């Protein structure tokens, strides 16, 4: 009976009564919330069966998907900040508990397990959350602000301030990328003065072959402002080819398998997106190929704001009869 996990109180009752009991009481070893019940009255059970699952929600794990290029920055013990879109103003502080050793071959992301305290039980299993993992780039590395890095095609550049109104662009090799900082492996020296604001008009064609010849302080001020605004707008919303993998109308969400988004340095992957209120979810179905407009609506928050469904053209063969 002990091998079958029968409690000592039930064994004692059998010894005292010397009678076979039709039923016995099985007590859970911990308190919590009944998450799953797989047994019903009259069912036949065996020692190998899982009868029920009890979850303790005072402490929870959150599983995060981290991009391949950022995964090596995450370590056990890193502080993590979490917030929920439907609970504005509330934040939770947690720590990285475990970094899984393998990646998802389809999304090229790795999973990170994060521990959070949940004393009031507000957090529930299955919720979606926004996470900010405080993974440092290291104090001994050469670090610059992320906005100072100019990414053009296959090259990465930084503008050096030489003094007396003169500037020079240099190619740099980029290491790890953080949310606000970038590691520079070569191309800059400690103490170099660099340009970090968007007050200069950068001509993408001339910058590839020479230093910024069109960088002027006064005469191009209007054009610089317009160019900066256009660049910012382009970075906030992008169009990409995608395939619908799942539609969740009850949550106003959709799962898309989209191509690479170079503007945000995103690889091709599968993601869940909130859907804007003016997008008709009834147009979407699993397997549908479309053009999707994805807009950044907040810090680490992205939304499907517009769609274009290509017309399906049918080719009809025409028969020509000749006498």
182 and 201 assigned to the same domain: yes
Token pair in block for residue 189: 């020296």
133, 164, 197 - which closes a domain: 133
Residue 222 within any structural domain of the chain: no
121 and 76 assigned to the same domain: yes
Residue 226 within any structural domain of the chain: no
Contacts of 87 (CB under 8 A, 6+ apart): 122
103, 133, 163 - which closes a domain: 133
pLDDT number for residue 311: 66
Q: Which residues of 267-286 are buried (b: 16+ CB within 10 A; e: fewer)?
A: eebbbebbbeeebebeebee
Residue 211 within any structural domain of the chain: yes
Dist CA 61 CA 73 (whole Å): 20
Residue 127 within any structural domain of the chain: yes
Helix (H) / strand (E) element for 70: namely helix 68-71
44 and 63 assigned to the same domain: no
Residue 2 within any structural domain of the chain: no
Helix (H) / strand (E) element for 15: namely helix 8-17
Sequential DSSP letters for 166-235: EEEEEE-EEEEE-SSEEEEEES--TT--B--SS-S---HHHHHHSS-TT--SSTTHHHHHHHHHHHHHHH
Does pTM surpass 0.85? Answer: no
Question: Residue 80's beta-bridge partner residues?
Answer: 94, 133
Residue 212 within any structural domain of the chain: yes
Q: Which of 199, 198, 191 is nearest to 146 (CA)?
A: 198
240 and 297 assigned to the same domain: yes
> In this structure, what CATH number is given to the domain that contains residue 148?
2.40.420.20
pLDDT number for residue 197: 65
Token pair in block for residue 147: 């906005």
**Helices (H) then strands (E): counts for the chain:** 4, 18
Q: Which of 37, 55, 27 is nearest to 121 (CA)?
A: 55
Q: Return per-residue pLDDT of the chain as tens, 323 residues.
A: 777 777 788 888 888 888 877 777 777 777 777 878 888 888 888 878 888 888 788 889 999 999 887 888 888 999 999 999 888 889 999 999 999 999 988 888 999 999 999 988 888 888 899 998 887 655 567 888 888 887 765 678 888 888 887 878 888 888 877 667 888 888 888 888 888 764 344 434 334 444 444 444 444 444 544 444 444 444 588 999 999 999 988 878 899 999 888 888 888 888 888 898 888 888 899 999 999 999 988 777 889 999 988 765 333 334 444 44
83 and 50 assigned to the same domain: no
pLDDT number for residue 164: 82
Please provide the size of the chain in residues: 323
Q: What are the φ and ψ backbone dihedral angles of 89, each rounded to 5 degrees?
A: 90, -15
Dist CA 32 CA 267 (whole Å): 41
Question: Residue 261's beta-bridge partner residues?
Answer: 266
Residue 119 within any structural domain of the chain: yes
Give the domain range for residue 110: 59-133
Helix (H) / strand (E) element for 17: namely helix 8-17
Give the 3-state DSSP-derived string for 122-167, with helices as H, strands as E and coil as C.
Answer: CCCCCCCCEEEECCCCCCCCCEEEHHHCEEECCEEEEEEEEECCEE
Q: What are the φ and ψ backbone dihedral angles of 13, each rounded to 5 degrees?
A: -65, -40
Token pair in block for residue 177: 């990328």
Cβ atoms of residues 263 and 209 within 8 Å: no
191 and 162 assigned to the same domain: yes
129 and 148 assigned to the same domain: no
Number of domain units in the chain? 4
Q: Which residues of 234-260 are buried (b: 16+ CB within 10 A; e: fewer)?
A: eeebbebebbbbebeeeeebbbbbbee
Residue 148 within any structural domain of the chain: yes
207 and 151 assigned to the same domain: yes
49 and 84 assigned to the same domain: no
Token pair in block for residue 258: 């989209």
172, 187, 217 - which closes a domain: 217
What are the distances in angstroms from CA 179 to CA 100, 134, 223, 261? 22, 9, 29, 17
């Amino acid at each position: 009976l002990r091998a079958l996990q029968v409690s000592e109180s039930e064994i004692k009752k059998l010894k005292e009564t010397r009678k076979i009991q039709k039923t016995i009481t099985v007590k859970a070893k911990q308190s919590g919330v009944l998450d799953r019940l797989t047994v019903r009255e009259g069912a036949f059970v065996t020692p190998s069966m899982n009868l029920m699952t009890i979850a303790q929600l005072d402490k929870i794990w959150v599983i995060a998907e981290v991009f391949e290029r950022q995964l090596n920055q995450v370590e056990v013990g890193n502080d993590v900040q979490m917030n929920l879109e439907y609970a504005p103003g509330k934040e939770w502080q947690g720590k990285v508990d475990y970094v899984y050793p393998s990646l998802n071959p389809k999304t090229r992301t790795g999973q990170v397990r994060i521990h959070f305290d949940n004393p009031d039980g507000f957090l529930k299993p299955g919720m979606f959350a926004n996470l900010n993992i405080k993974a440092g780039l290291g104090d001994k590395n050469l670090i610059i602000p992320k906005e100072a890095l100019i990414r053009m095609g296959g090259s990465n550049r930084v503008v050096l301030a030489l003094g007396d109104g003169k500037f020079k662009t240099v190619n740099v090799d980029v290491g790890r990328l953080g949310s606000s900082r970038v590691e520079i492996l070569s191309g800059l020296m400690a103490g170099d003065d660099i340009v970090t604001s968007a007050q200069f008009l950068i001509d993408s064609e001339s910058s590839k072959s020479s230093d910024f010849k069109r960088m002027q302080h006064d005469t191009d001020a209007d054009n610089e402002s317009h160019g900066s605004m256009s660049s910012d707008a382009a970075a906030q919303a992008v169009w990409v080819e995608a395939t619908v993998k799942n539609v969740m109308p009850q949550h106003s969400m959709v799962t898309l398998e989209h191509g690479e988004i170079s503007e945000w340095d995103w690889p091709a992957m599968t993601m869940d997106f909130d859907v804007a209120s003016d997008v008709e979810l009834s147009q979407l179905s699993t397997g549908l190929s479309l053009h999707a407009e994805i807009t950044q609506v907040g810090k680490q928050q992205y939304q499907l704001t517009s769609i274009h469904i290509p017309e399906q053209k049918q080719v009809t063969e025409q028969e020509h009869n000749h006498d």
